[in-house]
Homo-oligomer: A and B are copies of this chain.
Amino acid sequence: MGLTDPRPIGVFDSGVGGLTVLRALRSRFPDESMVYLGDTARVPYGTKSAEVVTRYSLRNAAFLTSQDVKLLVVACNTASSVALPALRASLGIPVVGVIEPGARAAARVSPSGNVGVVGTPGTIASGAYQRALVAERPGIRIQVQACPLFVPLAEEGWVQGDVPRLVAHIYLAPMRQAGIDTLVLGCTHYPLLRGVLAEELGPGVTLVDSADATADEVEALLGRGVAGRAPGGPGALRVYVTDTPDRIPELSARFLGERVERAEHVDIQAG
């Protein structure tokens, strides 16, 4: 790779949640071209086994490398929690997940070392955040909570009002009792519920969004000589999905903050 590398950054997720990570990357690196793949035909990964998620992840990565990406961002907590070793072993490009950057940021900002993690059942059960937090800061205290209703709430657009408030109240009760001072949003959908979560936990608790932390790690890699520069203008963006792209304009507006009118359907047979 030369001093600049115009090839795109590849980003995949099980669905549309990873668009919050893409949003952080687009905002931080406006010159970079990016290719996003949402495996919407097989979403969600959070309830599936490690073996199945790894198989899907390898196929997603194969599609993105066929698009000549220079760097792969796994913008899915479930896939990051189980599939990174297999991805790194099989690809010849750098692979960045969302778990380690998020855990690192949380371990760094927590004053007391009493940290909470919310995520899908798959992410929480994998123990990946717990391991990453302990590796960053031995002696850290960790409260975890699987919150399976947060994803449908975010996708339904129910991010304010009584229902998300009540659901957050129930899920976060053990966190409040344990006196956490930092909460890791361990699922890419959860930033949409940030307002409700912040309100529920109060001003003494810092929310850590893995998307920003992941952008930090990508920045470090780009600084080592893979940064691209779009020829006159912002970097291009292509969005692919494995199911029909009908809802992408609406969901991209909500999750990415820019409306993607034309997402392309791609048929990857991932078993």
Query: Contact residues of A with B, CB < 8 Å?
Result: 40-43, 47-49, 51-52, 148-149, 151-153, 155-156, 158, 162-163, 166-167, 170, 243-244, 246, 267, 269-271
Given A148-B155, A149-B149, A149-B153: A243 touches B163 (CB 8 Å cut-off): no
**A-B CB contact pairs (8 Å), 10 listed:** A40-B47, A41-B52, A47-B243, A48-B243, A49-B243, A52-B243, A163-B167, A163-B170, A267-B271, A270-B271
Q: Is the Cβ of B153 less than 8 Å from the Cβ of A49? A: no
Q: Is the Cβ of A156 less than 8 Å from the Cβ of B148? A: yes
Q: In angstroms, how far is the closest chain B Cβ from the Cβ of A153?
A: 7
**Copies of the protein in its oligomer:** 2
Q: Please, how many angstroms separate the alpha-carbon atoms of A153 and B163 in the complex?
A: 12
Q: Which residues of B contact A267 (CB under 8 A)?
A: 271
Q: Is the Cβ of B52 less than 8 Å from the Cβ of A48? A: no
Q: In angstroms, how far is the closest chain B Cβ from the Cβ of A145?
A: 12
Q: In angstroms, how far is the closest chain B Cβ from the Cβ of A254?
A: 15
Q: In angstroms, how far is the closest chain B Cβ from the Cβ of A29?
A: 31
Specify the chain B residue showing the minimal Cβ separation from A270: B271
Q: Is the Cβ of A244 less than 8 Å from the Cβ of B51? A: yes
Q: Please, how many angstroms separate the alpha-carbon atoms of A13 and B242 in the complex?
A: 21
Specify the chain B residue showing the minimal Cβ separation from A245: B49
Which are the 9 A-B pairs with shortest beta-carbon distances?
A: A49-B244, A269-B271, A41-B52, A152-B152, A49-B243, A149-B152, A148-B152, A48-B243, A148-B156
Q: Please, how many angstroms separate the alpha-carbon atoms of A40 and B155 in the complex?
A: 21
Q: In angstroms, how far is the closest chain B Cβ from the Cβ of A264?
A: 14
Q: Which residues of B contact A148 (CB under 8 A)?
A: 152, 155-156
Q: Is the Cβ of B52 less than 8 Å from the Cβ of A47? A: no
Q: In angstroms, how far is the closest chain B Cβ from the Cβ of A214?
A: 26
User: Among the listed B48, B49, B166, which residue makes an inter-chain contact with A166, where contact means beta carbons less than 8 Å apart?
Assistant: B166
Specify the chain B residue showing the minimal Cβ separation from A125: B246
Q: Please, how many angstroms separate the alpha-carbon atoms of A253 and B41 in the complex?
A: 29
Q: Which residues of B contact A270 (CB under 8 A)?
A: 271
List 10 additional contacts besides A49-B244, A49-B246, A270-B271; criterion CB under 8 Å: A41-B48, A47-B243, A48-B243, A51-B244, A52-B244, A148-B152, A149-B149, A149-B156, A162-B166, A163-B166
Specify the chain B residue showing the minimal Cβ separation from A156: B148
Q: Please, how many angstroms separate the alpha-carbon atoms of A244 and B170 in the complex?
A: 28
Specify the chain B residue showing the minimal Cβ separation from A43: B47
Q: Please, how many angstroms separate the alpha-carbon atoms of A5 and B267 in the complex?
A: 41
Q: Please, how many angstroms separate the alpha-carbon atoms of A152 and B148 in the complex?
A: 7
Q: Which residues of B contact A170 (CB under 8 A)?
A: 163
